[in-house]
Structure 1
Amino acid sequence: MLSETDVLQAVRQHIAERGEAPKMGQPTSGEITWHSLLEGTIVRCIETRTENKQLHRGRIDLSDRPRYDRLEQYPLAPPKNPAAALTLELVQRGSVNEDPCPCGNGKVACSRCQGRGDLSCASTTTCSDCRGIDACLRCDGTGHRTHKAPEEARQVAEERVTCKKCGAFEAACSTCRGRGHVTCSTCRGRGVRECPDCDGEGTEPHKRCGGTGLTVAWTEGIISRQPRTEEIKWPESGLPYVARQHARQDGDWRKTSLTHKDSVPDGLEAEFKALLKPRLKPRDGEIARKADLQYLPLARVVVPEHRHRVYYVYPGQSKLRVFILPSSQRTWQIAGAVLAVLAVLYLLSRLLS
Structure 2
Amino acid sequence: MRFLHTSDWHLGRQLHGLSLHDAHQAFVDHLVDVARSERVDAVLIAGDLYDRAVPPPDAVGLWDQAQTRLVVEAGTSVVVIAGNHDSPARLGVGSRLLERAGVHVRVGTAAVGTPVLLEDDETRVACYPVPFLEPASAVTDWAVEERSHAAALRVAMGKVRSDLAVRPGYRSVVMAHAFVSGGQQCDTERDISVGGVQHVPGAVFEGVDYVALGHLHGRQRLAEGLRYSGSPLAFSFSEAAHIKSSYLVDLDGGGLCGVEEVPAPVPRRMARLTGTVEELLNSPIYGAYEQCWVEATLTDRVRPVSPYERLKRRFPHLLKLVVPSVAVEVGSRTLAELDRLAPVEVALDFVTEVRGRSADGDEVALLHRAFDELRRAEVTR
Bin for the TM-score computed over the shorter chain? under 0.3
Q: Which is bigger in relative contact order (C-alpha 8 A, separation at least 6)?
A: 1
**When the two structures are superposed, what TM-score results if normalisation uses the length of structure 1?**
0.19
Larger radius of gyration, structure 1 or 2?
1
